[in-house]
Amino acid sequence: MTEHKAANGGGAEHGHAASERRKRRTVANLAIGAIKAQHAAYRSPLERLVDRLNSIAGSTPFLMVHVLWFGLWILWNTGALGLRKFDPYPFGFLTMVVSLEAIFLSIFVLMAQQRESAIAELREELSLQVNLRVEQEVTKTLQLVAGLYTRMGHRVSDDPELHHMLQPLDVKGIERDLLEQIEAATAARHNPMLDE
């Protein structure tokens, strides 16, 4: 009877631990989606204006307004409409206005891209942390299965891959290998002819 209670207690603890892991995974998945929402909630008035202008500038009506505006401007200033020219060819004033508009639109796009880049970096970091956590859980599961297999009287094979999988993940080693590969790829692309 006591063994049964202990088994049930152990099962309850295991169920609670599994529930906690599922909850953490769900929270992590929600966090990945919520990062952008959090950034959107804390935008400054300038950032809100930039986002609004970017959405307007990327729309079809914005394109159509510019096509009509340029067409009317050119027709007016070439004399095709019979009206007095105010910006004759080569349309210096139009060029200045369009250049200023392009400068400001470029700045707005760069500001939006910078924020999106920061959000993407946060997502990558969160994904990395979740993946490392999952790797730890998988390794622990393999260790438990190998232990159970041994307790049942079976011999765990001398498979080097299995022994490697049973070891904790060496994050620093992976990082070191990646850096070495990047350096090797960079050195391979380096052209010694350019140094002369």
3-class SS string, 47-110: HHHHHHHHHHHCCHHHHHHHHHHHHHHHHHHCCCCCCCCCCCCCCHHHHHHHHHHHHHHHHHHH
Residues 6+ apart with CB under 8 A from 112: 50, 51, 54
State the pTM of this model. 0.53
d(CA 89, CA 74): 8
d(CA 97, CA 93): 6
**pLDDT by residue (tens digit) across 45-66?**
888 888 888 888 888 999 999 9
Percent of the chain with pLDDT over 90: 10
DSSP state of 192: G
**pLDDT by residue (tens digit) across 85-136?**
888 888 889 899 999 999 998 998 898 888 888 778 878 887 888 888 888 8
Domain ranges within the chain, ordered by starting residue:
2-190
77 burial type by CB count under 10 A (0-12 exposed, 13-18 middle, 19+ buried): buried
To the nearest 10°, report the CA torsion of 161, 164, 166, 172. Answer: -150
109 burial type by CB count under 10 A (0-12 exposed, 13-18 middle, 19+ buried): middle
DSSP state of 156: P
